[in-house]
Chain A
Amino acid sequence: MLRLGTRKLLDRSFTGMGVLSIVLLAAALLILLAPICLRGISAYVFQGTVEFRRVALEKFQRGDREELKREQAAAARARQPVFAALAAFKKDLDAMPFAERKKYKTDFAAVQDAVKDLLGPLPGEEAPLLMRSQYGQTRWDRAQVKIQQVLFAEDYDFSGGGLGRKVLKPRLEKFRGTKLEPLFAAIEKNASEMLRPQWTFYGRFLTDASHDAHFFGGIGPEVLGTLYLTLGAILFAVPMGVIAAIYLVEYARENRLVRVLRVCISTLAGVPSIVFGLFGLAFFINAAHLSENKSVLAGSLTLGLLILPTIIRASEEALRAVPATYKQAALSLGAGQWHAVRSVILPAALPGILTGVIISMGRAAGETAPIIFTAAVSVGKPLTLLQTFTQPTPALPWNIYNLCSEHVAVDEIRHVQYGMVFSLVLLVLLLNLAAIIVRARISRKLRT
């Protein structure tokens, strides 16, 4: 037998554990959302450099040409000492005997590359092919990383043993006494004059096309693709789902067929999303030849099947929640079954159905696995409505994966990745918020 005191203590700690688990849940949500929101916002609001404004003008025709010209002239004046030091040292380097040149060669190349990364191509140089080398850093936070790379060389210290510790060595020491020396001081002191950072609100990030594998521009094609896929899925699944729910609630008698149907609906809900993707590939594309290859149509249909059970269940619940008196009143006034459903029961259940539809929309927008083989490509132009029947599209969830694990320079475009995740999560959570509000209004209406 336990003592009463122990029993009480156990009771309290049981309660405590329950509360703790809830706190943990909330904390997990917070830990998950905090970095996504904080760093995601920085895709929209950040310190843009003069290079950013150059891209905006040259690629998107936005901004004031004259103003930019003045700014560029000022920036060029600030950059002049850097380029002069590079040119002077290069001349010296070419004149050096071979043994001495060897000492500087790789380090000089590293400095030159880092400066090019920071400020764009050197004056007089032929325009590079890749767009990312035609411009300097467009964001001040990225520029600061690049400044570090100009000033310090990364090295590993193996004295401690094991994997080694990363240490930063100032490049200045290597070049002390040469003509390159003033470059380091200039970059350290005058970088902000060279790049002229300014707080920028880049709202068009959401709709702009991207350039050069997302190094520049926004996420417009992805957002549009996600909208197409979601709306397509809804257009397919909502009529089917609502009709099925009406049948199950209003017409079906409890027989074997209906029981099997119910089991099938819950089975469909349990099928893993990647299996839906394979099915979409095998059926819609390889067997039914809806389109030559991946297309928005095939993707939307696959997503539609995926959200069908959710919509059926939500609609069923909403239809069952309509008080029986409504139907009885309608029938007693001489309405037929179908008439009663159409004019009385369905309108009454509409807000509930809407909640289910909104939540399913969020689900369809965020699902990745079903569209990998049926609809999504990494790079693509925004589609017109007609093209959606035959062409694949970039989409937010797929491109988030693609950019953070298959991109050539994952670290350089973190802000775009965070911006995408933030936009997607925001979209989904706003849809859910809408659903919560609709539901709250229903329950208020039912209470009065």
Chain B
Amino acid sequence: MLSRAANRNQRLARLLGEGFLLLVTSLSMLAVVFILIFIARDAFPFFTSWERVREFFGSVAWYPTRQPAEFGALSILFGSALVTLGAALVAIPLGLAAAVCLSDVLPFHIRQYVKPVVEMLAAIPSVAYGFFALVVFAPALQERGGPMLAWAFWLVLTPIVFLTVLVVSDLAAARLAEKVRTVARAVVFAALAALAGWLLWKTGRLLYGLEISSGTNALNAALILGLMALPTMVSVAEDALQATGRDLRMASYALGATRAETLIKVVIPAAGSGILAAGILAIMRAVGETMVVWMASGNAARIPEPWFNFLDPVRTLTATIAGDMGEADQSAGSAHYHVLFAMALVLLVFSLVCNLVSEHMLARTRRRLR
């Protein structure tokens, strides 16, 4: 039997201990709050007037060291967006295909060997990716960029286009009478295939003859960034696909659907919000990445001509912060110093919003599957 005093002491000790644990745990909350405060504190002095806000978001004139200085960040914001778009175009379809393959197609003993590949891609430091982009990939792109692009274009699009043609001709013929169906299908297929083949050939030749003046451009950065964002996409999407469970798949098979139909029409929609969350996380990774874009994107603060020209050099928010902070007077707090914090604030707010959305999506998947 414990005495009353001892009992109280014990309870006090437990409370104190628990309080200490909570204190340590709230360190990460503190860190988030402090990051927000300290980035915002150094960002706000930049926005001294409405003019500054309008200039920052609306002008493409980025001359931070000229007198008087101009801080139009539109082309830099656009550069970030363009590179991220490219990375997403690489990472999301490829990552989803790989995730589907990992969760539903490959047998267990092969999956064991594929997982470490994804983990290795995630583990390789970003500066190594950047080094590869700058030293290996950029010269290759500059010398043989046209043929490389053309072959990639043919290899990726040919199977997709021909499958589409097959499906379209099948659907078109299905409306006709039984007698002419086979013939009509063959005719439609032949005509469409010839057209698609001719188009593929012509566009490919166009790409083949392309001369790339500099290997460090938006395309290079986007491809490598896409590769870096892939592991995030693959692992989060795979988790979402696995979480849908066996019953759903079995029900679909029982109705006579093939595996592809089950996956596309049943499993992927069911895991939809999880996959969306994966896409958002991959995009966040691409937006926030510094070294690759700094080394591989060419760092020219202007909007490409035309806007979707991936072969022009671009400049991104992260690369500007990394590259200019050395020049900007750090302690004196010049406008140049503060504009870089304003860029960091844009990045931070973007990633906070994305994170909340993806959290919400993941929570919704969990709830619905329960």
Contact = CB atoms under 8 A, between A and B. Distances in A.
Is chain B a partner of chain A in the same complex? Answer: yes
A424 B125 contact: yes
A272 B98 contact: no
B127 A25 contact: no
Contacts of B251: none
Contact of B102 (A20, A22, A28, A278): A22
Contacts of A417: 131, 135
B117 A29 contact: yes
A270 B347 contact: no
A251 B117 contact: no
A275 B39 CA distance: 8
Given A366-B127, A436-B116, A21 B97 contact: yes
A185 B38 CA distance: 67
Interface in A292-345: 305, 308-309, 312, 336-338
Nearest to A262: B359
B131 A404 contact: yes
Contact of B127 (A278, A287, A305, A401): A401
B44 interface: no
Instruction: State the main secondary structure of chain A at its contact with B.
Output: helix
A278 B340 contact: yes
Contacts of B29: 260-261, 264
Nearest to A283: B38
A268 B136 contact: no
Contacts of B31: 264, 268, 305, 308
A273 B341 contact: no
B288 interface: yes
A166 to B, nearest CB: 11
Interface in B78-118: 94, 97-98, 100-102, 105-106, 114, 116-118
Instruction: State the main secondary structure of chain B at its contact with A.
Output: helix
Interface stretch (B47-55, B198-206, B253-261): B253-261
Given A244-B25, A401-B295, A270 B102 contact: no
A272 B347 contact: yes
Interface in A1-43: 1-3, 6-11, 13-22, 24-26, 28-29, 32-33, 35-36
Contacts of A24: 94
B322 to A, nearest CB: 6
Contacts, number: 269
Interface residues of A, number: 93
Contact of B97 (A18, A260, A263): A18
B170 interface: yes
B38 A270 contact: no
Contacts of A3: 170
Contacts of B322: 274, 277, 369, 372
Contacts of A251: 18, 21-22
B120 A432 contact: yes
Contact of A369 (B34, B227, B291, B354): B291
B290 A266 contact: no
A362 interface: yes
B149 interface: no
B101 A21 contact: yes
A349 interface: no
A268 to B, nearest CB: 5
B126 interface: yes
Nearest to A305: B31
A246 B21 CA distance: 8
A313 to B, nearest CB: 11
B263 interface: yes
A365 interface: yes
Contacts of A276: 35
Given A268-B35, A277-B321, 4 more contacts: A272-B318, A286-B331, A308-B31, A421-B131
Interface of A: 1-3, 6-11, 13-22, 24-26, 28-29, 32-33, 35-36, 240, 243-244, 246-248, 251-252, 260-261, 263-279, 281-283, 286-287, 305, 308-309, 312, 336-338, 359, 362-363, 365-369, 372-373, 397-398, 400-401, 404-405, 414, 417, 421, 424-425, 428-429, 431-432, 436
